[in-house]
Amino acid sequence: MSLPSLSPASASTAAPTQAELLDFGRRTAADTELIASLPLDPEGRSWVRLAGPGGSEAWLIGWPPGTGTGWHDHADSVGAFVTAAGELKENALAARLPTDGWKTLELSDGVDREHRLTSGKGRAFGRHHVREVLNESPDRHAVSVHACYPPLPRIRRYRRTGRTLRLEQVERPQDWR
């Protein structure tokens, strides 16, 4: 499996911008050989780590039909993701949440955003971007490319019931090993 090549600008020592992460995602998603090489698991998500630009954390992820992430954020990381095959739906909150010190929030009306991302389409996101990503297809895998910087210091997982968002868990890199 070949990893995407980095242009000199994206391989610099400066922290990559959201635009650079999105560009990386688009270039990687266009690599049909790489996308086809991802082993797809019929039961759960599959993934392969990639060499991201500027020291970012990057992943190629396969999504079986009907799977999703649940509500989460990437804490202090900025990032981008691009659908390489199939279609993904991102439900996101257009509201800046407090970064720490809370367990339950009542969300205002009008904060929900829905984005449907077909092959080649992507989105960049800022710090503390709360979302869930879903493959709603009943019979088709989706594949996507994700990149975050700085490499994920933590992921916060939430439960959403109506307008109530509850912090359920904070995961750190040592939890993923």
Q: pLDDT tens string for the chain (177 positions)?
A: 444 444 444 444 689 999 999 999 999 999 999 999 999 999 999 999 999 999 999 999 999 999 999 999 998 899 999 999 999 999 999 988 877 788 999 999 999 999 999 999 999 999 989 999 999 999 999 999 999 999 988 899 999 999 999 999 999 888 766
CA 31, 121, 66, 165 torsion: positive or negative?
positive
Q: Per the domain annotation, does 62 fall within a domain?
A: yes
Tell me the two tokens of residue 68.
Answer: 């999703």
Distance CA 163, CA 166 (A): 10
29 φ, ψ to 5°?
-65, -25
- What's the alpha-carbon Rg for the chain, to the nearest Å? 16
Distance CA 177, CA 172 (A): 10
Q: How many domains does the chain have?
A: 1
Q: CATH no. for residue 23?
A: 2.60.120.10
Tell me the two tokens of residue 15.
Answer: 């922290």
Segments forming the whole domain that contains residue 23: 18-93+114-151
User: Are the CB atoms for 52 and 154 separated by under 8 Å?
Assistant: no
pLDDT value of position 30: 98
